[in-house]
Amino acid sequence: MRIRWTDRRFNFDFPAGIYPEMIERIRGTPARLEDLFAGLSPETLTAQVDGRWSMQENAGHLLDLESLVSQRIDEYLAGNSALHAADMSNRKTHDANHNDVPVDSILKAFRTARQEIVNRLDGFDAEIFERSALHPRLNVPMRLVDMLFFQAEHDDYHLARISELKRIFHAKTQGRL
């Protein structure tokens, strides 16, 4: 059974020196998302299963969180002792009506926002990735490199859900469901 995002626990026991790999994971998400969406109809992208987010809403959620990632990077740079809390109700995503906008606008906006974050990260000195602040939900110290890992894991969580939905719709078109 799939573990819900909010039930996940993390170990941040790796060296800060792996920050280049974390940046690459972050950098690659827009391309992976675009690849998953290639050739899919708007009806497929916006269809919900079990009242949960559609593929397009999952993508929109990733876009919605880019401002939080950017804000948290600012907090590391400012030397804050704690990071800004995420809105665990996901109000921004629910209010955005991502299914009502062209998917290309979501993908383009996400690619642009993510590239801005990556460009910032690429310019940092190595020691910045060792800076630490308290993560409010997990209640653990999190270095910037840990936050990048956390964000990459969150990206993968939603990409996996999109892949799951894609398999469901493929099975339906093949008459297997």
Name the residue ranges covered by the structural domains of the chain. 15-38+53-173
Share of the chain above pLDDT 70, in %: 98
Q: Give residue 177's pLDDT.
A: 54
DSSP 82: B
Region 54-83 average pLDDT: 98
Tokens of 23: 């940046």
Q: Give residue 150's pLDDT.
A: 97
- CB environment 109-134: b (16+ within 10 A), e (fewer): ebbebbeebbeebeebeeebbebbbe
Report d(CA 47, CA 68) in Å as an integer.
Answer: 27
Residue 102 pLDDT greater than 90, yes or no: yes
Give this prediction's pTM.
0.94
Residues 15-38+53-173, CATH architecture: Up-down Bundle (1.20)
Report d(CA 61, CA 54) in Å as an integer.
Answer: 10
Mean pLDDT of the chain: 95
Phi, psi of 82 (to 5 degrees): -140, 150
Residue 93 pLDDT greater than 70, yes or no: yes
Region 145-165 average pLDDT: 97
Per-residue pLDDT tens over the stretch 18-35: 999 999 999 999 999 999
Report d(CA 22, CA 152) in Å as an integer.
Answer: 7
